[in-house]
A = this chain, B = another copy of it.
Amino acid sequence: MAGGAGDPPPGPLDSVLRPVRAGNGFEEALEQVLQLLRLGLVPPGERLPSERELSQHLRISRVTLREVLKVLQDQNMVESRRGRYGGTFVLPRTAAPDGSGELRRRIAAVDVEDTLRFREVLEAGAAGLCAEGLAADGEDRLRGALDATQGARLEDYRRQDTLLHLTLAELSGSRTLAAQYAAVRATLNELLDGIPLLVRNLEHSQQQHTAVVEAVLDRDPDAAREMMREHCGGTAALLRGFLA
């Protein structure tokens, strides 16, 4: 992306005319891998899919993927080990993730209000859809995810919470919804990393999780949506308070 002209002035067509391939093309891949980490889909200590696998999934060449991983290595977010049973491993989060690196640039470019509103819409919608009809194996997955949050230790709570919500989104029956939720949740987690985790909020959160899941299992869409909106509203108020 060489030095062309600046951004064109905004017009009424901007809902549709968003850029194809936001950024260097490789940045989009970076974004996706970052999602993997921020969502905790691959927890610290675990191995990412091999370079050959990942590059196939993302439909980019291995060379380009390696450049992405290089950035993450420089940020001490992952570590690569060679040899059989080697791979790229996720490192535990370090306190200060380097204030001037290749990353970090996108933070603060996030539209917080957009994120919070969109999140609430997707969550409430997913909860409602799940309550309207859920396969039997869906019930099990949901219960399992809820149990995992109950037993989670403090440092693992964010991850289990994310996985519970992600499960709900996947069970909604809309792949697009699930994918969009994953994206917005990754952004949300990034924001949440900037504020303290209060045990009091956490307990309240857990009650709400239980209520939502119960409403879903009771096949009560209105209650599920309502509870979920309340749940999201709590996080939103917290974030608005700390970031205001």
Q: Check A176–B20 contact: CB distance below 8 A.
A: no
Q: What are the residues of chain B within 8 A of A177 when measuring CB–CB? A: 114, 117-118, 121
Q: Which of A84-99 contact B (CB under 8 A)?
A: none
Q: Which of A1, A42, A54, A182 has the most CB of B within 10 A?
A: A182
Q: How many residues on the A side are at the interface (Cβ–Cβ under 8 A)?
A: 64
Q: Check A125–B120 contact: CB distance below 8 A.
A: yes
Give complex CA distance A8, B57 in Å.
6
Q: What are the residues of chain B within 8 A of A41 when measuring CB–CB? A: 12-13, 16
The 9 closest A-B pairs by CB, nearest first: A121-B125, A19-B59, A117-B174, A17-B57, A15-B182, A118-B174, A8-B56, A20-B28, A118-B176
Known A-B contacts A125-B125, A174-B114, A179-B18; A36 and B13 likewise in contact (beta carbons under 8 Å): yes
Known A-B contacts A20-B28, A25-B21, A56-B4; A117 and B13 likewise in contact (beta carbons under 8 Å): no
Q: Check B21–A28 contact: CB distance below 8 A.
A: yes
Q: Check A121–B113 contact: CB distance below 8 A.
A: no
The 0/1 profile, CB within 8 Å of B marked 1, for residues 111-139 of chain A is 10111011011101110110000000000
Shortest CB–CB separation between residue A69 and chain B, in angstroms?
A: 14
Give complex CA distance A176, B32 in Å.
17
Q: What are the residues of chain B within 8 A of A170 when measuring CB–CB? A: 15
> Other CB < 8 Å A-B pairs besides A4-B56, A16-B39, A20-B59, 13 of them?
A13-B41, A13-B49, A16-B186, A17-B54, A20-B58, A113-B174, A114-B174, A114-B175, A117-B173, A118-B174, A118-B176, A121-B121, A121-B124
Q: Check B16–A32 contact: CB distance below 8 A.
A: yes
Known A-B contacts A114-B176, A117-B177, A122-B121; A166 and B20 likewise in contact (beta carbons under 8 Å): no
Q: What are the residues of chain B within 8 A of A179 when measuring CB–CB? A: 15-16, 18
Shortest CB–CB separation between residue A222 and chain B, in angstroms?
A: 9
Give complex CA distance A178, B20 in Å.
16
Give complex CA distance A124, B172 in Å.
15
Enumerate 25 A-B pairs (CB-CB under 8 Å) in ascending A order.
A13-B36, A15-B175, A15-B178, A15-B182, A16-B32, A17-B57, A17-B58, A18-B179, A19-B57, A19-B58, A19-B59, A20-B32, A21-B60, A113-B174, A114-B175, A114-B177, A117-B173, A117-B177, A118-B174, A118-B180, A121-B121, A121-B122, A122-B125, A124-B125, A180-B180
